[in-house]
Amino acid sequence: MKNRKYIIATTLVAAIVVASCGEKKQQAVVTDTPAISVEVQASSQNTDNAFLSASGKIEAINSANISTRMMGYVDKIYVDMGDTVTNGQLLLSINNADVSAKLAQVNAGIVEAQAAFNIAKKDFERFTVLFSEKSASQKELDDMTANYEMAKARLNAAKEMKNEVSAQLSYANIRAPFSGVVTNKFIKAGDMANPGMPLLEVEAPGKYQIMAMVPESEILGIKNNTKVDVLIKALDKVAKGTVTEVSTSAKNTGGQYMVKVVLEEMDANVLSGMYATVQFQVERKEAASALLIPLEAIVEKGQLSGVYTVSESNTALLRWLRLGRTVGAEVEVLSGLSTDESYIIKAEGKLYNGARISIQ
């Protein structure tokens, strides 16, 4: 029994020694990990923050939803999304059998009215000569004149009817209102097209604008022809823009005033529908201080945003933040970071909590 207890005790001591050696070896491995070279920056408050951020979507300046004024089945669609079209190009056609039949009737009516007009004109001219020679009475001339005027009116009415039918026929063959790109299709061949129903969307690329909604508390500080910065989130770029229109009514927009900003041309591939944040410079009597850090320093994990700070032992320490408005290439920190606290903006390796760092 004593020998058995001795064996168990010896085994436990050996296990503890092995575990201790393992921990020392692991600590040695951690200690031997090379430090990650990083660039740090000290946070500071910016008092020059007389700005206002407003979000909106980018859209083409020249854009149109194409519809028709007639009802009928779509015979054929000649374009697809992404196709480039020219002004006047045929986009789709709607079944127009009834309109074509009506046009044939109108043409027949014009032929009949033209023949009646020709006869009435000859009678009018003949009786005018006879009246001048005192071979026809005034009543006979008046009757011929009235008959001529009525025939002329019926011919004009028949021609106007043809213009009306031709206009209806033009709504059966939908053409591009300007040169651009087909960006959307709302219907397919065989569907019923109704008056006013959008069928296709065409826009002219190259010139874009943003319709931003500004609260009533800030709208008085925004003026026309003001230069602004526009942060395009999808491209991670800051573009320049100009305020071209400022709405003076928020009756139908729930207390938000619409401001139109036209983007300047840029090399990036801007697309309609991209979200953007417009930074308006507004005049304020007192500008509250704000803590701003570069967007490139932000670390995102799911719905959380943070930044790596520098601990007293020169290791990386992830700090979660509550962020506010975006100002150009910087973002406002509402909480989680103190003034004059150092944070990492660039690293030559993958950072993690407790990683040894070497500050450049």
CATH assignment at residue 313: 2.40.420.20
Given 129, 150, 171, the domain boundary residue is 171
How confident is the model over 247-260, as pLDDT tens digits?
Answer: 888 877 777 888 99
Residues 125 and 261 in one domain: no
For residue 86, what pLDDT is reported? Answer: 93
**pLDDT of the residue at 289:** 59
Distance from chain centroid for Cα 194: 26
Is residue 281 domain-shared with residue 188, that is, in the same domain? yes
Last residue of a domain, one of 285, 311, 332: 285
300 and 160 in a common domain: no
Q: Kindly state the tokens that stand for 260.
A: 């139109």
Pair 107, 199 in one domain: no
Report how far residue 152's alpha carbon sits from residue 160's, in angstroms, rounded to the nearest whole number: 12
Quickly state the pLDDT bin for 283 (edges 50, 70, 90). Answer: low
58: CATH: 2.40.30.170
- Candidates 64, 54, 51, 59; CA nearest to 259 is 54
Q: Are residues 239 and 157 in the same domain?
A: no
Contacts of 106 (CB under 8 A, 6+ apart): 158, 161, 162, 165
How confident is the model over 86-99, as pLDDT tens digits?
A: 999 999 998 877 77
**Residue-wise DSSP of 44-110:** -EES---EEEEEEEEEEEEEEEE--SS-EEEEEE---TT-EE-TT-EEEEE--HHHHHHHHHHHHHH
CA–CA separation, 345 vs 235, rounded Å? 20
pLDDT, one tens digit per residue, over 119-151 is 999 989 998 998 888 888 899 889 999 999 999
Indicate if 64 and 184 belong to the same structural domain. Answer: yes
Token digits of residue 15: 């296990």
Which helix (H) or strand (E) segment holds residue 162: the answer is: helix 138-170
DSSP 220: G
Residue at which a domain ends, from 141, 171, 201: 171
- Please count the structural domains in the chain: 3
In a domain? residue 15: no
With a cut of 80, say whether residue 44 has pLDDT above it. no
Are 266 and 187 members of one domain?
A: yes
Query: Confidence class of residue 29 from pLDDT cuts 50, 70 and 90?
Result: very low
Evaluate whether residue 70 is within a structural domain. yes
* Domain, as residue range, for 301: 33-49+289-359
Q: Which residues contact 322 (CB under 8 A, 6 or more apart)?
A: 333, 334, 335, 336
Instruction: Give the pLDDT confidence score for residue 214 in this predicted structure.
Output: 84
Write out the DSSP string of 206-218.
Answer: EEEEEEEEEETTT
Write phi, then psi, for 295 (nearest 5 degrees): -65, -30
In a domain, 24, yes or no: no
Q: 192 and 62 in one domain?
A: yes
Q: 17 lies in a domain?
A: no
Which DSSP category does 191 fall into? P
Residues 353 and 232 reside in one and the same domain: no
119 with 242, same domain: the answer is: no
Evaluate if residue 177 carries a pLDDT over 60: yes
Any domain includes 105 = yes
* DSSP structure class, residue 296: G
Give pLDDT, residue 30. Answer: 43
- CA dist., res. 240 & res. 261, Å (int): 10
Contacts made by residues 147-152, CB under 8 angstroms, sequence distance 24+: 147/120, 147/123, 148/117, 148/120, 148/121, 148/123, 148/124, 150/120, 151/113, 151/116, 151/117, 151/119, 151/120, 151/121, 152/117, 152/120, 152/121
CATH code for the domain of 149: 1.10.287.470
Are 186 and 245 in the same domain? Answer: yes
Higher pLDDT, 177 or 331: 177
Helix (H) or strand (E) holding 184: strand 180-185
pLDDT tens-digit readout, 226-277: 898 888 888 888 889 999 999 888 877 777 888 999 998 887 788 888 888 8
Residue 311 lies in a domain: yes
Q: Residue 209 falls within a domain, yes or no?
A: yes
* Of 53, 55, 49, the residue nearest 283 (C-alpha): 49
Residues 67-71 have a mean pLDDT of 85
For residue 19, tell me if it sits in a domain. Answer: no
Same structural domain for residues 340 and 355?
Answer: yes
